[in-house]
Amino acid sequence: MEWIELHNTAFGDCTVLGGKDEMLMVDCGSLNAVLAQGACTFADYARGLAKRYAAVGTRYGMVTHFHKDHVNGFTFILQEDPAFFRQIYLPPAPQDTNGNPLLLEFALFVYAFVTEKSDYSELVDNMVTAFSRMGGLSGTERLAVLCRGDRFDLCGVTYEVLWPPQTEYPYTDGFCCLVEQANELLTATWGGYAELFLRYKDAFCDGYLRCVDLFSPYSTAALEEKEAAVLALEAILREIDGLIYELNGLPAAQDVAELVGSQKARMLFGKELNGSSVIFQNRRQGGLFGRRHTREDILFTGDATPQTMEEIAELLHDRYYAVKAPHHGTESHWWEGWRTMEIRHMLISNGRHSAGGLISEEYALLPAIKHCTDCERCRWYLERGKSCNRKKKCRENTHISRRVKRCPANRPEQTDPMCGCRIYTVGPFGTYACDCGIKPDML
């Protein structure tokens, strides 16, 4: 990997890995409509990414999960250039031990019974229309679904997907009970529109799982078969759309809406969605050479929960060149396992939004060099007014001191984009590096 760019999208994720005329954009989204104190809209910033990377020969995109702050920017990029990505990787629909895709089931209850427009309904729309919407923007032939055990190549390196599994997914008891309660409320009024919705719901889930199989990286299905599966999925969703008015007139409708629209349900759903983020790392080859620590040793975590990280702990390397901190580096998603690894660079994407927490001080205490999109969101920086990197040494720094502060990338007059570690934070006002002591205008 020759360079990494971490975009400041104000509490959103967008990281680009590049080298050898190839790049992978991992997520692209924001919770903010306007960036950097009104410097530009997020929509304009996202469209600008199509121009920024236009010269890169082969471009890939990845959606780790469907939260707005990870996915909504792809729409703007593809509106600017539908052929921007050669391939777009989507997350699967994890099934429980009984083969039920509970996240998708729950999303369909919200889709049908929670009628007000909000970020919650937008999230659900992102999920249930993933294949048709992304395929409609870029072309069905460009879509692929990644789950545990799958691999993909970038810049001559093979990366392996560690999470989520497509089957036997360990949903929490609380979320399982929530979906079961929603089903029971409609089953109790069996017949008529309630029965019809439950049948369409099951048919939609079956059709979605068929698309997951057809769009596997290893699928040999013809494009016509994939397109037919997506069209069939759209047809079922139209049938559900046609039922919504009648469904919301059912005696159980208010109970279902209150159940799946409650704050508790939203939190459980959000946590499950974060926990099912696509996680990947480079695949190490066998032998002495394959165990050497290189720039290719990277781990990307989406919004993984500490419980998810525990699930995959045995699959992780003991050393990484770069790790993307889960869920914007917030305290709620801090994992104690980071202390046991040798991590050279930690990437933390955070920003200003009422829904977002500050960066956990635990990250500042790690020996890794941190690359943060917004130092004003770091409790360490706010309390001390200093960069946590100021005394650290960077192995990639060619200065005799090796100190981060001496790195040419941290000098205001720096214009060479290929020096030091080549990890940069990019925002509406320019590109900068890891020393918070030199405060960018945008912060």
**pLDDT confidence tier of residue 159, bands split at 50, 70 and 90:** very high
Percent above pLDDT 70 for the chain: 94
- Burial string for 300-309 (b: 16+ CB within 10 Å, else e) reads bbbbbbbebb
pLDDT of residue 118: 87
**Dist CA 66 CA 27 (whole Å):** 9
Residues 240-265, mean pLDDT to the nearest whole number: 95
317 φ, ψ (degrees, to nearest 5): -75, 165
Mean pLDDT of the chain: 92
pLDDT for 30-68, tens place per residue?
999 999 888 899 999 999 999 999 999 999 999 999 999
Coil, strand, or helix at residue 170?
coil
Most confident of 51-55, 113-117, 349-353: 51-55
**How far from 275 is each of 103, 166, 173, 334, 340, CA to CA, in Å?**
11, 13, 14, 13, 21
Tokens 């994407």, residue? 349
Looking at per-residue confidence, does 118 or 201 come out higher? 201
Q: For residue 360, what pLDDT is reported? A: 95
pTM over 0.85: yes
pLDDT in tens, 358-407: 999 999 999 999 999 998 899 899 998 889 998 899 888 888 888 888 88
Mean pLDDT in residue range 214-234: 97
Of 154-158, 203-207, 304-308, give the lowest mean pLDDT range: 154-158
DSSP per-residue string spanning 250-305: STTHHHHHHHHHSHHHHHHHHHHHHHT--EEEEPPPSHHHHTS--TT-EEE-TT--
Cβ–Cβ under 8 Å, residues 52 and 430: no
